[in-house]
Amino acid sequence: MSLIVQKYGGTSVADAERIRSVAARIAARHRAGDQLLVVVSAMGDTTDRLQALAREISEHPEARELDLLFSTGETVSMTLLAMALHALDVEAVSLSGAQAGLRTDTTHGQARIVKVAPERIQQELERGRVVIVAGFQGITEELDVTTLGRGGSDTTAVALAAGLGAGRCEIYTDVDGVYTADPRVEPKARKLRDISYEEMLELAAVGAKVLHPRAVELGAVYGIEIVVASSFTEEPGTLIHGGVTMEQFNKVRGIAHDLDVAKVTVRAVPDQPGIAATIFEALAEHQISVDTIVQNASVERLTDVTFTVAGDDLRKATPIVEQVAKKIRAAEVVAEEGLGKISIVGTGMQTAPGYAARMFRALSDAGINIDMISTGEIRITCIVHRSDVEDALRTLHKTFELEKAAAGEL
């Protein structure tokens, strides 16, 4: 008997009919003799709706209350799925993150799993029950409910696979695998048969929301193979693992886009040691992740520091930066919304020159202005206007011939 860990995303459990259909898939696997541990997301856009509701009540809802509110979404879907299994005569039990032993740190809204205490899950599995666990949530030492960041149910699933020694985790969603780009934006995107942790992590980190970046990271650390497939079809999905030799491809592997980027510029900052540290320490203290950072060469000992944050974080970041700006005697803080980013990713880029030039030329030929650029070892990112992002994605998909498989690629 082997332990199968599965995760079903929001669209896959969006209504009663979908929940019954997921229950039927689980029941079939259970009857075939496997032990099943199933993680679920909240139904459809429940989390978005809860967030909007909280904003109607308060402009700055308290992070602790927000997490407890969000956790209700997954509570609804896990209980309904357990009931749907009972209706099929399958023994099943639903467990909240706390009951499932998902211990996290105290960073509300962006908590990290620090430990999985799997005893309760193990007991239930040994009794022959299907165990359903609420995704995206955990509990602190002080018994406060936390959430893992949007899309975090993937991370719950991979963490449980690691905690229970499963070796593999199946993520069921509304697309049948990982594509060379978001197939909803680029219909010519091609499904990948497999992809390395390294490339998947990079894509997820810069906006390919098909997987939560932390789930990929945990997969890599604990050697858990992740399969992304559709909960609607039986099509084989995409395998994310460590055994891909990508060097031979010498090609861009995928493109990720993000439509929600904001930019902050601290103008005329005195150019002296410690200034950048002061700005970014203040942001880090408030759990705001900063992305692309550019510091201009100084003119008359004054310099501009520009960086990007997620659009959602701008209203939190601006007052913090304004306070620091006053302290360091900067002239002003300018915030700009309405940006997006487009990134090309591939391990092949490490060894072959010319990718950046081709990317910039293609964007310029398409009349797309680049606002900022950042690079990593296997990634090049351009910040562009939000309205140009989808155009940029399709342009680059064509430029780097992603609709065609590379030699040696399956």
Residues forming the site for ligand ADP (CB under 6 A):
9-12, 41, 151, 173-175, 178-179, 181-184, 208-210, 254
- Residue 208 interacting partner from ligand ASP, Mg ion, ligand ADP, none (CB closer than 5 to 8 Å by kind): ligand ADP
The DSSP code for 33 is T
By beta carbon distance, the residue nearest ligand ADP is 9
Q: What are the structure tokens assigned to 221, written together? A: 């650390």
Residue 254 touching Mg ion (CB under 5 A): no
- Among the candidate windows 26-34, 84-92, 146-154, 330-338, which touches ligand ASP by CB under 6 A? 146-154
Please check whether residue 297 is in contact with residue 303, taking contact to mean a CB–CB distance below 8 angstroms: yes
- Among the candidate windows 86-94, 144-152, 277-285, 375-383, which touches ligand ASP by CB under 6 A? 144-152
* Cβ closest to ligand ADP, residue 333 vs residue 393: 393
Contacts of residue 302, Cβ cutoff 8 Å, sequence gap at least 6: 268, 269, 270, 271, 331
Residue 151 touching Mg ion (CB under 5 A): yes
Q: How far is the CB of 255 from ligand ADP (least distance, A)?
A: 8
SS3 label, residue 187: coil
The DSSP code for 400 is T
- Residue 47 interacting partner from ligand ASP, ligand ADP, Mg ion, none (CB closer than 5 to 8 Å by kind): ligand ASP
- Residue 80 interacting partner from ligand ADP, ligand ASP, Mg ion, none (CB closer than 5 to 8 Å by kind): none
Other Cβ atoms less than 10 A from the Cβ of 232: the count is 15
Tell me how far apart the alpha carbons of residues 66 and 70 are, in angstroms, rounded to a whole number: 6
Overall size of the chain counted in residues: 410
Residue 47 touching ligand ASP (CB under 6 A): yes
Strand locations in 15-129 (E): 35-40, 92-95, 102-104, 113-116
The maximal CA–CA distance of the chain, rounded, in angstroms, is 77
The DSSP code for 42 is P
> What is the x/- site pattern for Mg ion, positions 9-38, by CB under 5 A?
x-----------------------------
- Residue 113 interacting partner from ligand ADP, Mg ion, ligand ASP, none (CB closer than 5 to 8 Å by kind): none
Tell me how far apart the alpha carbons of residues 305 and 293 are, in angstroms, rounded to a whole number: 7
* Cβ closest to ligand ADP, residue 181 vs residue 269: 181
Residue 136 touching ligand ASP (CB under 6 A): yes
Residue 69 touching ligand ASP (CB under 6 A): no
- Residue 11 interacting partner from ligand ASP, ligand ADP, Mg ion, none (CB closer than 5 to 8 Å by kind): ligand ADP
Q: How far is the CB of 204 from Mg ion (least distance, A)?
A: 10
Contacts of 365-370 with CB under 8 Å at 24 or more apart are 365/395, 366/391, 366/392, 366/395, 368/392, 368/395
Residue 152 touching ligand ASP (CB under 6 A): yes
- Residue 181 interacting partner from ligand ASP, Mg ion, ligand ADP, none (CB closer than 5 to 8 Å by kind): ligand ADP
- Residue 136 interacting partner from ligand ASP, Mg ion, ligand ADP, none (CB closer than 5 to 8 Å by kind): ligand ASP
Q: How many residues sit in the footprint of Mg ion (CB under 5 A)?
A: 2
Number of H helices, E strands in the chain: 11, 18
Residue 135 touching ligand ASP (CB under 6 A): yes
Alpha carbon separation from 59 to 138, 316, 359 (Å, rounded)? 25, 11, 40
Handedness of CA 210, 108, 341, 48 (dihedral sign): positive
Other Cβ atoms less than 10 A from the Cβ of 233: the count is 9
Alpha carbon separation from 164 to 4, 29, 125, 247, 376 (Å, rounded)? 10, 18, 11, 33, 34
Q: How far is the CB of 83 from Mg ion (least distance, A)?
A: 23
- Residue 219 interacting partner from ligand ASP, ligand ADP, Mg ion, none (CB closer than 5 to 8 Å by kind): none
Q: Which of 35, 41, 292, 399 lies at the binding interface for ligand ASP (CB under 6 A)?
A: 41
Task: Kindly list the residues in this chain that would bind Mg ion in the complex (CB under 5 A).
Answer: 9, 151
Task: Kindly list the residues in this chain that would bind ligand ASP in the complex (CB under 6 A).
Answer: 9-10, 41-42, 47, 73, 135-136, 150-153
